[in-house]
Amino acid sequence: MDTESERLRSVVDCLEGDCRLIKSWSLQGGISAHMTGVLLERNGKRSTVVLRRPGAEMLSQNPRVASYEFEVLKALSMHGVKAPQPLFLDESKSIFDTDYIVVEYIEGEPVYAPVNLDSYVQRITDFLLSIHSINADSGIDLSFMTDQRHRLTKEFGKMPGRLDHSLREEELRRILADYYPPARFNRSSLIHGDFWPGNVIFDKEEKSVAGVLDWEDAELGDPLYEIAITRMDLLLVFGVDAMNAFTELYRDGSSIDFTDLPYYDLMAALRPAFKMKEWA
């Protein structure tokens, strides 16, 4: 296939129903996947879907990341979580040279300048609490999901050969080396993996969360790690008051042990190592 439009027509032909491609456009904002919006007509009705192709870094970490995210989205759909509905998975590489998935397009936008910051923080906290309430006893099969403990042991169990000195990585890792593995774990639950304002879609009135995107990093593990990630991102986007408000709201709505949060904060602080340009 010579052109992108021909490839997209082939993708649309694979979808359920009598589908016809109307137009397509590149979607901005993702660094882990290449995303294309596709307007199609199916049985006389128009709808929008999103084609997601994993980026090189994600593929290097997990060559089957498209399949993994698709299975995560299927599990979320069974539990009624507001996330894109999974529509199609193609691992044949007959259309693109990588696997890809097609998912529902969620109407709305990420919010970076909320009309009411307190209300915004309350809503994202409530949503995160609902995600973290899902565990092995929730009636859906999560056994295929990545185990956070194994991943963190690989990531923090030893000093890497290359260190980002701009983040004082060696100093932070030496502190973590004395702590890891932690003596206590909260009960393992569903973790989004990258819960930050850019992945949380609000409706046009900012009254409710329409959905959360980008589930390729989802795993089962201690919610403290995700709390630390969200704390750091809220600090960078909205400031220290938003971070503290989120932390207290989550603490009030949960029974988990926050004792080890400072160590998870250090882990989260190392996520941008050698990636600051992408984060900016």
For residue range 254-264, what is the model confidence (pLDDT) as tens digits?
Answer: 999 999 999 99
**Domain with 93 in it:** 4-104
Amino acid 260: pLDDT = 96
For residue range 68-100, what is the model confidence (pLDDT) as tens digits?
Answer: 999 999 999 999 999 999 999 999 999 999 999
Among 50, 75, 104, give the residue marking a domain's end. 104
Among 104, 120, 148, give the residue marking a domain's end. 104
pLDDT(221) > 80: yes
CB–CB of 17/102 below 8 Å? no
Report the C-alpha gap between 121 and 231 in whole angstroms. Answer: 11
The Cβ of residue 1 has, within 10 Å, a number of other Cβ atoms equal to: 12
Indicate the pTM of the whole model. Answer: 0.93
Instruction: Identify whether residues 128 and 212 lie together within a single domain.
Output: yes
Instruction: Identify whether residues 144 and 274 lie together within a single domain.
Output: yes
Instruction: Identify whether residues 73 and 188 lie together within a single domain.
Output: no
Cis previous bond, 181, omega within 30: yes
Mean pLDDT across the chain:
93
For residue range 192-205, what is the model confidence (pLDDT) as tens digits?
Answer: 999 999 999 999 98
CB–CB of 138/79 below 8 Å? yes
Report the C-alpha gap between 250 and 1 in whole angstroms. Answer: 50
